[in-house]
Structure 1
C-alpha cells in the first residue's frame, strides 16, 4: 500500500487517472443483482502494456462458469473466464499473471449474471495499471545487433567502437565503402584485416583507370570467407566488371592470381551476415594494357589464341546453324581495339527458319516441344484437318543451317493437304437410271452439284473450291450471282449446302454455237469460299491426261434431268438419278444426228458418246458427271471421265448422248486453277 501511495504522489492527477484505476462489478461490495452486466475496455499507449490485478473474486460457482462469470480479452483474444470464490494469494499466483495486454494493446473485461442466486455474492474488484514495456529485456525481436537501451515508451540501439548504425537504426555495420578511382596500384582488404571481419558488412570499393588499361588483382594466400557445408556462400566477395560479374568467391581458396578483369572500371563488393569469426581477404591491385578475348560465342576465331593485342585482326566463323549481322554473314573479320573490344562485332545467333507457309486445311505441329521452336535442328510435323484430306509429301521437316525447312529425305518444297477424291462413304448397290430410274441415296454421289438457274443443270466438285460443268449451261450468266447446291439428293431440300460463285471461266475454245458445235463444252466455277467437306460433299478425281477410253466400258452418269416416268419429258426430276451405261465405239460416236435446221452436228476428238437402249442422260442433266469405274463396282477411286454435253431430245433418241472428254482438258484445268491461286 505504501508503494502504491508513493506512485500516486509521483504522478500528476491528469496522468495517473489514465494510467491506473479500479475496475469492479456492479454493486460491489454489496453484491450484484440478477441480470447484471458490464463491458469495460482500456488500451495501453505505444511502448507500454496494460495489466489487471484482481484483489477480490466472489461469483456464483457453476460448471464452466455458465451462470455468473467475468471474461477477460487481450486484443480480442480470450485469456480468462472466471467464477466462484478465490483467495487473494490464489489470485496473485494463478489468475492475475495472464491478465496482460501486448505492447500498445488493449484489455476488455465482460461481466454478466443470470436470474437467480441461492445466496448473495459480493462480485469482483481489480486494479489496472499501465507500465513501460522493456523491449531490451522482454522482446527477443528488438533487432538491435549489438546494444539495446530501453526508455519509457520505447528503446534505441547503439554500436561498439568502429561501427555505426545503418539506416534501419537497428543494424550495426562498418564504414567500408571507398572510391579509389585514379589509383593504378594499392591494397584492399576486408574490415579489421587480418583480424576477424565485421558482421553485417556491406563494403563497396570502386576502382577506375584510363580506358586503354585493365585492372589486375592479386590475392594473398590467406583467404577465409564463410561458407556452409554444401560449399555455398554465406558471406561473399564479388567483382563487378564491364564484361560481367566475377564470383561470388568464398571458402578457403582464393580466386586465381593474377585475376585479369578485362575492364578499366570495377567494383569490389564484400558482404557478411551477423555471425561468424572468419578472417576475410586481402588483395593488391595494379594495371596492365587491355587485351581482347575470344568472347564471341557460337563461333571460332582464326588464328586461335587465349587473348589478342590491340591491332590484331582475326576471322570469326559462326558455328554451323548460326549466323551474324541479322543473318547476312556466316563469317567476317574483326580487329582488337585499344578499349579491349572487337570492331566490328556481330554476335553469332542461331538460325531461325520461322513458321513455314502452309496451305489451307493443313495443321502445323512442333515435334517434342510445348513452345513454337523454329530454330536450327528443330522439327515440325504436318497433318491434315480431317479425314477428307490427305497429306502429299513428307510429314516431318527440319530447320537446316541455311534457314530453310527440309524434309527428312532432303526433298524440296512443303507438303500440302489435298482432298480425298472419288471415294463415297455410301455403297452403291442398286442400278438406278436417269431415264426411268430410281433415286440415288444421300452420299452415294457426293460430288454431284445442282444448278437451278439460269438453266437447270449439273456440275461436279473437283476440290473444295472448284467445280467443273458444261460451258453451255452457264454461258452468258453473271458469275457473282450463280448459286450451286451440294450435299443433297432432293432438289427441294432446305438443308443443302449453298455454294456461291466467285468466278466463271469458260474454255477459250468454246464457240457458243449450240445448234451444231459443242466443241470445248467445259467451264470452271470458283467458289467464294472453300466448302466444308463431309460424307455428303466430296470431290471426284480427275483422270490422267492420257487415260483413253475403252469401248463398252461401263460408267455412271447422274443428274436431276427428265425421266421417262414423268410422262412430260420437259419436267425435271425432283430427286437425283443415276444410271450405268457403256462407252460406245468411235465410229458410232461420229454418226451424229441432224438438227431441225437440217445441219449436221459436229463431233470432235474432245468428245465421246455413251448409252444403251432405255438408259441415257436427258435435258436438265447437262454439266453433270460421267464417272469410271461405275458406282456399283468395288473398284475405286472414281474418276470424272466425261461431262454431259449434248444429244437429241430424249423422245427422239433411243440409246446415246455425247460427253465432253475431260482427259483432254486436264492441263487447262490445272493451269487455270494454279493461275487463280497465285493471284
Structure 2
C-alpha cells in the first residue's frame, strides 16, 4: 500500500508518504517485485526511514532483497531481519538522494520461502539540503546562508559580492586621469590588504608628459617560497607590461614608464596577511628610450629628447618593414615615441623550393622551423636518386637556405647484368642497358637517357623533324612492344647543336649531337635509368674497350639485312686516331674526320644502320665495373654489308666529352626559363 500526501507550503510542495513491500504486513508472496522512485526539486533531497524489515536472509542477498540507489548509484543492499534500533543507527542515515536527485527502491522475492516473511515498511519525506555544509557546492569565500532549496553568500563589512555571487571583494577601481601628482595604494594600506581583490587604477596625462612612479617603503606583496607571485602588481603602458612585482623588494624607484597613459593592476588570492604597496606618481617631460628590440641604436644614449634622430640597425638575422629594411633613421617625438618605427623581426626563409616531382623531401616537415638560424633536413624518396651535398640546410640572415641539396639521378649503374665478353654481339636482358632509348619514327635510331627529363641522340636522327613526329620509347628491349605495351615519352622540345650543318651531302657529321627534353619527368626504375656524362677532356684512349648497343641491322642469313627486334650490344675497342683519319667513302664521297669524333670497331663487330644516336659507354658492360659513362654517340661508319660478319668494321662516334659544357648550359637555361 502506497500513500502520497501533498501539502501546500508557500511556493513549493512537500513530498512524503509510506513505501512498503507488497502484502505488508501479512507477508509477501514468491515472485513479487516493486519498483519505486521519487525525485527531489533543486536544493532538496528525498530520504527514507525504514521502521520494519523482515526478509528471507541469504548470502549477498541473492534470494529476497531491497536495493536502494541514488541517481543509479547503489547505496544499500538489504535482506534478512533488522530490528528498529539497527535500522535507525546503521541503515537509515544512508538512505537519501543527492540534492535535486532521485531515490529508487527495488524489491524482489525469489520462487520460494521456507516461511512467510512480513516484508518491510518505510516512511519517505522531502528534506532541505544544507549546501553550506558541502564544500564541493558551497563556494562562498566568507559567509554562507542556507535556505529551503538553496543558499546565498554574504560578506564582511567593507566587502561586496563580485559578479559570480560567491567571491567577496572590495571596490578598488579608480580613474585618476588628469591628475599630475598623487598616490595609489593597495586597499587598507598600510594595513593588510583584502582577499580576492582585483584593482585597476587608471592614470592619464598630456601626450608630451610621462608618468614617473615612486614606491614607498614597506612594499609587501605575497610571494611563494619558490619565488613565484601569489598576489601580483602589474603596470601596463602603451607598449609593454611591467611586472608582475611581488615579495618585499619594490621595482627600481623612480620607475619611468615612458608613457602618458598607464593602468596599475593589483590582484590577490583568498589568503595571506600582507600589507601591499603605496605608489606616489608625478610627471616629467617625455623622453624616448633607445630602440633595443632586436636592434641597436646609433648614437646610443640612455634617453633622447624631442627632435633627436638616431639610426636603428636590426640585429643579424632580423629585418624591418616587411623584410625590406635592415637599417632606418627615426626621430624622437614629443609623446616619447619614435617615428617612423619599424619593429625588427626575425628573418623567415619560408619553405624551401623542393623542385618538381616530389623526389626531394623534408625529414619530419611538421617539426621544422623556417626562421633565421633554423636547420632543416632532406632526403630523396627514391633509391634511384642520391643526395648531392649535405642533407641539412640552414636559414641565413638574407632569408635564403644555404647549401640546398639536390636529388640527382643515380647514373650508369644497371641493376641487371650479364657476365663474360661476347665479341660478336648479344641480345640484352631487360634492365641491362636501362639508359638505352628507342626512336621508331620518322627515322629509326637510338638515344640515351641522361637524367629524368633529358635524352641525347645524334643530330642527324632528329634534325629538321617536328617534335610531334618523333616517337621515343624507354624501359624496353623488345622493339615489337612499342605503341602497344609501352607508350611513347611525350617530348617538349628538340635542341640540335647550333654548329651542326646537316649531313645532306653525307660528307661531314661534325657536331652530330642533339638534346631531347621531355614534357615531364619520367619515373626512374630498374629498367629506366640514366647514363653518366663523362668529365670534360677525359680523353678517349686508343684500345679503350666500350659497349655499343642498339636495334640496328644485324647479320642474318649471311648478310646485313634487317633491324633487330631485341636490343643488341657488343664490346668493341677504340681505334687509333691514325686509323680513324683513313675514312671510308660513303656514296663515293670523301668523309670528314674531326676532333669531335672517334672511331671503334672490330672484325664482325660494330654499330650499324638503325643504331644512329645510340650510346657507346665505358667501361664495357661485361667488365662488371661501374658506373658507366657515355663517351660516344653512334654517328656514321662504313657500310655494314662490306666484309660480312668477319670483315673489319669501323664506326664513327660523336665524342661526348666535347659537349658536356653545352649540355649542362642548355639544361641550366631551360630550368630557369
TM over 0.5: yes
Q: Which residues in structure 2 correspond to 1:44-59 (within 5 Å)?
A: 44-59=40-55
Q: How many residues align?
A: 660
Alignment partner of 1:625 out of 603, 607, 615: 615
State which drifts further: 628-637 or 217-226.
628-637
Native 8 Å contact 1:520 1:660 kept in 2: no
1:615 and 2:605 correspond: yes
Cα pair 1:301 1:315 within 8 Å, conserved = yes
Match of 1:540 in 2: 531
Q: Structure 1 residue aligned with 2:221, among 225, 233, 245?
A: 225
User: Relative to structure 1, is the Cα distance of residues 202 and 68 closer, same or farther in structure 2, using a 3 angstrom cutoff?
Assistant: same
RMSD of aligned Cα (Å) = 3.5
Distance 1:545 1:368 in 2: 39
Cα deviation, residue 167, structure 1:
1.8
Tell me whether 1:560 sits opposite 2:548 in the alignment.
no
Partner residue, 2:302: 306
**2:319–2:345 CA contact under 8 A, matched in 1:** yes
Name the counterpart of 1:510: 501
What is the correspondence of 1:55-74 to structure 2 with a 5 Å cutoff? 55-74=51-70
Contact 1:334 1:345 in 2 (8 A): yes
1:260 matched to 2:249? The reply is no
Contact 2:436 2:615 survives alignment (8 Å): yes
Q: Give 1:383 shift.
A: 6.0
Secondary structure (helix, strand or coil) at the match of 1:28 reads coil
564, 570, 576: which is aligned to 1:579? 570
Establish whether residue 439 from structure 1 lines up as the match of residue 427 from structure 2. yes
Contact kept, 8 Å, 2:368 with 2:376, in 1: the verdict is no
The structural deviation recorded for 1:342 is 0.9
CA distance in 1, matches of 2:189, 2:633: 102
1:250 is the counterpart of 2:246:
yes
Question: Could you report, residue by residue, the CA deviation over 1:346-375 in whole angstroms, capped at 9, with x for unpaired residues?
Answer: 223334445555666873658999413351
8 Å Cα contact 2:21-2:34 kept in structure 1: yes
Q: CA deviation at 1:635?
A: 6.5
CA shift, 1:552, in A, is 5.0
SS in 1 for 2:455: strand
Greater shift, 137-146 or 454-463, is seen at 137-146
Task: Check conservation: 2:606, 2:651, Cα contact below 8 A.
Answer: no
Q: Assess, with a 3 A threshold, how the Cα gap between structure 1 residues 474 and 313 changes in structure 2: closer, same or farther.
A: closer
Contact kept, 8 Å, 1:555 with 1:629, in 2: the verdict is yes
CA distance in 2 between partners of 1:13 and 1:595 (Å): 127
Partner of residue 467, structure 2 = 479
TM-score, L = length of structure 1? 0.86
Counterpart position of 2:655: 662
Aligned pairs for 1:327-366 within 5 A: 327-355=323-351, 357=353, 363=360
Shift of 1:437: 3.2
How many Å separate the matches in 2 of 1:16 and 1:348?
68
* Rounded Cα–Cα distance in structure 1 between residues aligned with 2:429 and 2:439: 19
The one of 453, 466, 470 equivalent to 2:441 is 453
In the alignment, the residues of structure 2 paired with residue 138 and residue 418 of structure 1 have an alpha-carbon distance, to the nearest angstrom, of 73
- Aligned twin of 2:33: 37
CA contact (8 A) 1:446 1:487 kept: yes
CA gap of 1:562–1:41, structure 2 versus 1, over 3 A, is same
Match of 2:21 in 1: 25
Tell me if structure 2 keeps the 8 A contact 1:384–1:390.
yes
What is the alpha-carbon distance in structure 2 between the residues aligned to residue 25 and residue 395 of structure 1?
83
Determine the C-alpha separation between the residues in 1 that align with 2:340 and 2:255.
27
Asked if the contact 1:471/1:510 (under 8 Å) is kept, the reply is no
In structure 1, the partner of 2:293 is: 297
Which ranges of structure 1 fall in alignment gaps of 5 or more residues? 1-7, 408-413
Match of 1:470 among 454, 458, 461: 458
1:585 CA displacement: 5.2
Deviations 1:21-55 (A, max 9, x none): 22222222222223222222222232222222222
Checking the alignment, whether the CA contact within 8 Å between 2:295 and 2:315 is kept in structure 1 is yes
Query: CA offset at residue 288 of structure 1?
Result: 1.2
Distance 1:545 1:32 in 2: 111
**Cα contact 1:592–1:600 (8 A) shared by 2:** no
CA distance in 2, matches of 1:246, 1:629: 75
Conserved in 2, the CA contact under 8 Å of 1:453 and 1:482? Answer: yes
CA contact (8 A) 1:482 1:500 kept: no
Matched, 1:372 2:369: yes
Compared CA separation, residues 236 and 109, structure 1 to 2 (3 A): same
Q: CA deviation at 1:339?
A: 0.6
Per the alignment, residue 411 of structure 1 pairs with: none
Contact kept? 1:629, 1:639, Cα under 8 Å = no
Q: Does 1:526 align with 2:522?
A: no
Structure 2 residue ranges without an equivalent (≥5): none
Distance 1:611 1:578 in 2: 12
Partner of 1:603: 592
Aligned to 2:204: 208
1:501 to 491, 507, 527: 491
Deviation, 1:417, is 5.0
